[in-house]
Structure 1
Amino acid sequence: MPNPFRVAVLGPKGQCGQCIVDELLSRGHTVVGISRSPPTSWPKPGEYSATACDFSNIAALGAILSEGRFDAVVSAFAPPLSDLKEAYRLGVKGHGNIKMAILRSSYRGPFFIVGGAGSLYYKQKVQLCDDEGFAFKHWYAWPDVHLDYMATRMFDHGQRGFGTFIKLFKWARGNVQNPGWLSWLFRPFANLVLRKARNLLTDPAATGLIMCSRAALTMWEGVRETNWSFLSPPWQLRDKGIRTGKYKAFVDDGAGSAEPGIENGIYNEDMAVAIVDEVENNALNHKHWMCTGPIGLKKW
């Protein structure tokens, strides 16, 4: 194990950020959580402190990065999900502000960004979020257990309407794919739900979080003024899972080398293992990569 690092985590309260902080602390690293209102203490043992900063204040964030004596910086930033129509605008603005703060600061250590699965490429050199029928086509292919997870996640975020929609979507798909004796009675309603779902899931407002993460990758591609590494989670990323410590990493060359991430998943706990391994080893500088791991070990 390397000497303990001092690591800044931007966005320590999110589902991904929390797991990264947990993993860093478990390995003896010092963590500074940075966000508008970061937790002032951490429930797990380790050397944790917090610095409040609104990411819209580029100068303030740059000063924190310049003066923080950090060995590494990890961005787990994501826009709030309270208003999905605002997710793209707020996400692009936040990622852009963080990039400007990094480049305008004197910090030149490794910077690790957590993005989204929409940036992954098929072998046809098409990104997932540009695939025809995105995202309805890809939701329709999800297993029931992942739809259960997505519904639970929406309820956790206070998105009860969207959580209920996901449950209806799962029911309607099942009515069509696995009809029972009386399914025909409810088939018109099931088809109506699926039509509504297609309209919603191909609406840019519903894919804002994914699209802003793709924009974040575009912001960093070609940048050589500082070290950076960009992780796109697999399509079936799940939180509140189990840490197995097992994962496979794939560098995305734009020609489908990371395509396994489009069909597979990982728990946030294991993705944090992969991220902290990269923090310690810094082996994927200026690379876009992803990782997969075991899922389905826990019911939702």
Structure 2
Amino acid sequence: MRISVFGATGMGGTAIVEEALDRGHTVTGVSRSPESLTPHDRLDVRALDLTHPTELAPLFTDTDVAVLTLRFAPGDEHLLAPTTERFLDAAAEMGARLVVVGGAGALRSPSRPGLLVLDDPEYVATPWRPLARAGLDQLRTCERHPYDGWVYLSPPALFEQGPRTGAYLRGTALLLTDSEGVSRITSGDLTIAVVDEIEIPGGERHITVVRTG
């Protein structure tokens, strides 16, 4: 399968590139500084400032599935939703599936299911609300878009650099917690979930994952 990873040198993006290559896929890694990616005979690298993308459709040429893992600097969070819309437009034009690795704020709180994680101070402290709000706006942008070839993956409350254990639990719109009551996952295990969804789509539009154990 031909996979393009936008944001390929971030914590999640780097792990997704490595996982997809390990499974035998052909990968295009797109980032502002793609030279930091480890060379591979099935990896093509492209330089692009994803916060100010120009013409995107050519980057979707010969792409079966694109992964968007994008973060903005504090103060620029409001740019996330309109930038995502441009990627949706390009995916629609080129007929590629799009997996958006978004934020946990759009999930329902496990302790108060009528409340979004964004609005639950147990999970989102006041300084982090703009980032969480941007993730919710990003999901709403996907839901409003006429193209239906997307899936939005919300990580747990804690998304950390860490190893691949191979053990995760998948859910939909409710924030999940592990056996210790903590909502977390490593970059290695989130990556497994992303590539699993690419290879065998589950059919849901909004999904989430959590570590097990």
Q: TM-score, normalised by structure 2?
A: 0.86
Task: Deviation per CA, 1:36-65: give whole Å up to 9, x if none.
Answer: 33236416x551111122335554123322
Contact 2:6 2:50 in 1 (8 A): no
Decide which structure has the larger Cα Rg and report it.
1
Q: Does 1:278 align with 2:202?
A: no
Partner Cα distance (2:8, 2:176) in 1: 28
Partner Cα distance (2:149, 2:141) in 1: 14
> For this pair of structures, how many residues does the alignment match?
208
Partner of 1:214: 136
- More strand, by proportion: 2
What is the identity, as a one-letter code, of the residue corresponding to 1:22?
A: E
Change (3 A) 1:40 1:70: farther
Q: Does 1:73 align with 2:66?
A: yes
SS at match of 1:60: coil
What is the identity, as a one-letter code, of the residue corresponding to 1:237?
A: F
Q: TM-score, normalised by structure 1?
A: 0.63
RMSD over aligned Cα, in angstroms? 2.4
Q: Does 1:264 align with 2:186?
A: no
Contact 1:71 1:109 in 2 (8 A): yes
1:202 pairs, out of 126, 141, 146, with: 126
Partner Cα distance (2:83, 2:176) in 1: 30
Gaps of 5+ in 2: none
Partner of 2:21: 25
- More helix, by proportion: 1
Gaps of 5+ in 1: 140-200, 296-300
Matches within 5 A, 1:1-300: 5-39=1-35, 41-42=37-38, 45=40, 47-65=42-60, 68-80=61-73, 84=74, 86=75, 90-104=76-90, 106-122=93-109, 123-131=112-120, 134=121, 137-138=122-123, 201-203=125-127, 206-239=128-161, 241-252=162-173, 256=174, 258-260=175-177, 263-285=182-204, 287-294=205-212
Change (3 A) 1:99 1:126: same
Partner Cα distance (1:113, 1:40) in 2: 22
Contact 1:40 1:50 in 2 (8 A): no
Identity of aligned residues (%): 26
Task: Deviation per CA, 1:133-154: give whole Å up to 9, x if none.
Answer: x2xx447xxxxxxxxxxxxxxx
